[in-house]
Amino acid sequence: MSKNIVIIGAGIVGVSTGIWLRRLGAEVTILDRGAPGQGTSYGNAGVLAACAMVPVTIPGLVAKSPKLVMNPDFPLFLRWSYLPRLAPWLVRYLANANDRDTRRIAKGLTPITSDTVEQHKALTAGTDAARWVTDCDYHFAYKDRAAFEADSYTWKLRRKAGFAPEITEGDAVKDREPNLSGVNLLATMKAHGTIRNPGGYVAHLAEVFQGMGGTLRQTEVKDFERTGGQVTAVRTKDGPVPCDQVVIATGVWSKPLMEKMGIKVPLETERGYHILFEGATNGALSPTMVAAGKFVATPMDAGLRCAGVVEFGGLDAGPSKGPLKLLRRQVKAAYPDLKYAGTEKWLGHRPAPSDSLPLIGEVGQTGVFTAFGHHHIGLTGGPKTGRLLANMIMGAPPNIDMSTYSPNRFAT
C-alpha cells in the first residue's frame, strides 16, 4: 500500500530522505519555508568527513573550557547575555566529556559517517547530480609531531573505527600542500570526499527529487493534526497537508516542533561561520583541517571556503565581528600568500543535541519520525540518515541498532 509522507526541511537530510522514500514507492512532499539547500546545508566546509565520529566532548574539556572561551585566539565564542538560556543545555553537554561517554558517542556516530562517500554516490547514482561528489584526500595539518601527538586520544578513536592516517613530515609537506605555512606534519585521511558547492548540490538533489515525482512546497509549518495519537496532517500557514507519516528534518528549528509532540529535546545552535575567498589562488589544494586555527580550508567552485569557529548565542542574534576577525587572522597565518577577488561571509546554525547523537526514528507510535541533530556532520551523514529512515518508514528495518538514535531517549 502506498504511503503519503510529508518531510519538513529541504536540507541535505530532508532531501536525501525524500529521494530514498520515492525509490521505495512512497508519495512524498517536502515542506520548507526557504529554498532547498539554502539553510545550514549551504554553509558547511563541504567535506565528506568519514572519520568525523569523535565528538567535541572529549575528556578534559570541562577543565579547559573556561580558558578556551576567554582566549581571544581560540575559535570558541559566547554571547554572555545568552548564558542563562544556554546553561541547562551546557551542563548536560559537558557531562559527556569523559572517556566512557566519548567512546559511546563515537561508536554511535561511526555508522552514520564512516561510509559517507559511498552513501552520497548511492544517493546520486543514475542521476546527473553524481557529478557533485568528488573523491579526495582530507588533511589534518599540524605545526609539528608534538602537536599531532597532543591529539592522540582522538586519533586512537579514529583508528579504532578503521581510519588510520598517512603521515607526511618536514619538507615533504610542501610537496602535498605547497601554500601552507607553519605546518610540518600532515595526517592525511584517504578515501574521503568533497562537495565543491554544497548549496548547489542540495538544490540539484531537490530537482532530482521532483523529477522522480516528489512534491516540493515552500511554506511555514505550524503544527500537526492527530487522530487517536496518529498524525494525519501537517498544519501550515497555507492550510493542512494530509499525510500518513511525517519526518521532522529541519535542523535546530526542529526543537519547537518536537515540543508540540511532547518532547523537550536539549538542542542548541552551534553558530558556525565561513568566509569564501572568491577566485582564490595560493590556498589549499585538498580539504585541510588546520589544527592551529581549528578551521577547514576547502577548494570550492567559487574559491576557497574557510569554515570553522563555534559561537553560542542563540538563533536570533546576527553575526558577531569577533569570530570573523579571528577566522581571517587564522587563514592569513596558514595561507600567507592567498590571493582573492572578494569575500562572502556566512553564519549558520548547526543543530547540537546535548549528547552529540542525531535523532533518527519514530516518536512513540505517532507516525512522526525525526531526522535532525547532526551538529557538524550534516552533509557527511545526511544521505545515510535518509536511507536508514526511509527503510524504517517503509517497513524494512535497517541492519544496525537504531535505538542509539531514538528521539524517545529525551521523552519524560
Residue 202 CB burial class (10 angstroms; 0-12, 13-18, ≥19)? buried
How does pLDDT run across 194-223, given as a tens digit for each residue? Answer: 999 999 999 999 999 999 999 999 999 999
Decide the pairing of beta strands 245-248 and 368-372: parallel
CA torsion through residues 353, 357, 359, 362, sign: negative
- Identify the residue with better confidence: 256 or 398: 256
Cα–Cα nearest to 188, from 169, 208, 209, 212: 169
Average pLDDT, the chain: 96
Longest dimension (CA), the chain: 68
CB-based contact 99:160 (threshold 8 Å) = no
Q: Provide the edge-to-edge strand list for the sheet that holds 215-218.
A: 215-218, 27-32, 4-8, 245-248, 368-372, 359-362
Domains held by the chain: number: 1
Residue 58 above 70 pLDDT? yes
- Side chain identity at 160, as an amino acid letter? K
Cα–Cα nearest to 357, from 300, 400, 404, 298: 404
Cα–Cα nearest to 378, from 212, 188, 195: 195
What mean pLDDT comes out for the span 296-316? 95
Question: Cα-flanking dihedrals φ and ψ of residue 309, to 5°?
Answer: 75, 130
Assigned C-alpha cell, 175: 610537496
Q: How many CB atoms lie within 10 A of CB 145?
A: 13
What mean pLDDT comes out for the span 238-246? 97
How does pLDDT run across 100-146, given as a tens digit for each residue? Answer: 999 999 999 999 999 999 999 999 999 999 999 999 999 999 999 99
Residue 29 above 90 pLDDT? yes
CB-based contact 161:53 (threshold 8 Å) = yes
Report residue 71's pLDDT band, with 50, 70 and 90 as the boundaries.
confident
The pLDDT assigned to 1 comes to: 59
How does pLDDT run across 345-389, given as a tens digit for each residue? Answer: 999 999 999 999 999 999 999 999 999 999 999 999 999 999 999
Residue 68 above 90 pLDDT? no
CB-based contact 256:279 (threshold 8 Å) = no
Residue 2 above 80 pLDDT? no
Report residue 399's pLDDT band, with 50, 70 and 90 as the boundaries.
confident
Q: CA-to-CA distance for 192 and 197, rounded, in angstroms?
A: 16
Please report, for the domain that includes residue 8, its CATH number.
Answer: 3.50.50.60
How does pLDDT run across 87-110, given as a tens digit for each residue? Answer: 999 999 999 999 999 999 999 999
Domain limits at 72? Answer: 4-410
How does pLDDT run across 261-280, given as a tens digit for each residue? Answer: 999 999 999 999 999 999 99
CA torsion through residues 144, 147, 151, 156, sign: positive
Report residue 74's pLDDT band, with 50, 70 and 90 as the boundaries.
confident
Residue 302 above 70 pLDDT? yes
Q: Nearest-5° angle of CA 364, CA 365, CA 367?
A: 110
Residue 412 above 90 pLDDT? no
